Amino acid sequence: MTRGIFTLLLGCVLVAPMAKAQLTGDRIDLYFGDWHGATPRTIRGSLEERDILTPGDAENPPKKGALLRYVNSYTYATLAPGQSASPTRLQGQQEIYFVASGQGTATAGGQSVDLYRNIAVLVPADLEFTLQSTGSVPLAMYVINEPIPAGFRPNTSLLMRDENKIPVASVDGSWVHIVKPLFSTADGLGTLQSILTVTFDPLTIAKPHVVDHTDIEEVFTELNGKTLAWVSNALRWQTTGMAFYHVPDNLTPHSTINQDKDEQVKFLYFARYHPHETRK
């Protein structure tokens, strides 16, 4: 209890100088999405999908989680043990899968990639692929679907990254971010510019910051544990499966607090920062 009160007071003291016309009140909750409360739907034969965030207006969201402007969709998908999704060819779009649990394979053009926890796969446009769940529990994945611009040159094969084996790239971003990069524009992203994981050590807090322009798309999704999201003048619990969309008004600060004294917490992060040159 004492630690919680201290954290709250600290937040109030630090935020007070910035509290000018920023987002406040119940509207803060519009910037969070959670697949746990979403209605499931079946696509591609047997892939069950639930929305995390949906297209909308990031400056004036019409409903909770309706925020995406540059990404087509952000969902949580599961494939039951022994099931396969129908072969799919993405046209004018690409998908990035990040495996949360289970085991399986992604197959395309004679290439097969093993799927298990913390594996990320970039599926390019115009490549037919299939997904199969091979474990004893459902294959569960976070799925980002991005559009590709006209004239963009997609990859010609699946691109896999094993987050378990990627070395830490940075430990000083926003004071405490422990960053592992997954994909960037150089790897074949068409609209997004960065996909990575961010880990917080126990009892640490990220530097409060605002986005410096309004056309950014920046999302943090909690992969494990429970943290305090500090948004404007308020605190919100953020639990596993919840995503936060950084308010793009150049006014509203955001930070993350890991209040656990023993465990690290990790987030999946993706962002489109600004218009960028198309890979031709």
Q: Nearest 10 degrees: CA dihedral of 117, 87, 66, 23?
A: 30
Indicate the average pLDDT of the chain: 92
Handedness of CA 185, 190, 191, 195 (dihedral sign): negative
Q: In what order do the strands lie in the sheet with 111-115?
A: 88-89, 128-133, 104-108, 111-115
Rounded CA separation 263/280 (Å): 44
pLDDT in tens, 173-208: 788 999 999 999 999 999 999 999 999 999 999 999
For residue range 114-139, what is the model confidence (pLDDT) as tens digits?
999 999 999 999 999 999 999 999 99
Q: Output the pLDDT for position 214.
A: 82
Query: What per-residue confidence (pLDDT) applies to 23?
Result: 86
Pairing type for strands 234-239 and 254-258 reads: unpaired
CATH no., domain 2-272: 2.60.120.10
Q: In which order are the strands placed within the sheet that holds 226-231?
A: 204-205, 254-258, 226-231, 234-239
pLDDT of residue 18: 44
The pLDDT value recorded for residue 146 is 98
pLDDT of residue 1: 40
pTM of the model: 0.92
Residues lower than pLDDT 70 in the chain: 1-21
Alpha carbons 270 and 107: distance in angstroms, whole number: 24
- What is residue 4's predicted lDDT score, i.e. its pLDDT? 52
Q: What is the pLDDT of residue 20?
A: 52
Kindly report the length of the chain: 280
DSSP class of residue 239 equals: E
The count of C-alpha atoms lying within 13 angstroms of the C-alpha of 229, restricted to the half-sphere facing its C-beta, is: 25
From the number of C-beta atoms within 10 Å of its C-beta (0-12, 13-18, 19+), residue 97 rates as: buried
Q: What is residue 24's predicted lDDT score, i.e. its pLDDT?
A: 87
Q: Is 190 left (phi over 0), alpha (psi -120 to 50) or beta?
A: alpha
Specify whether the CB–CB gap between 38 and 74 falls below 8 A.
no
Question: Burial, 165: exposed, middle or buried (Cβ in 10 Å; 0-12, 13-18, 19+)?
Answer: exposed
Domain segments of the chain as ranges: 2-272
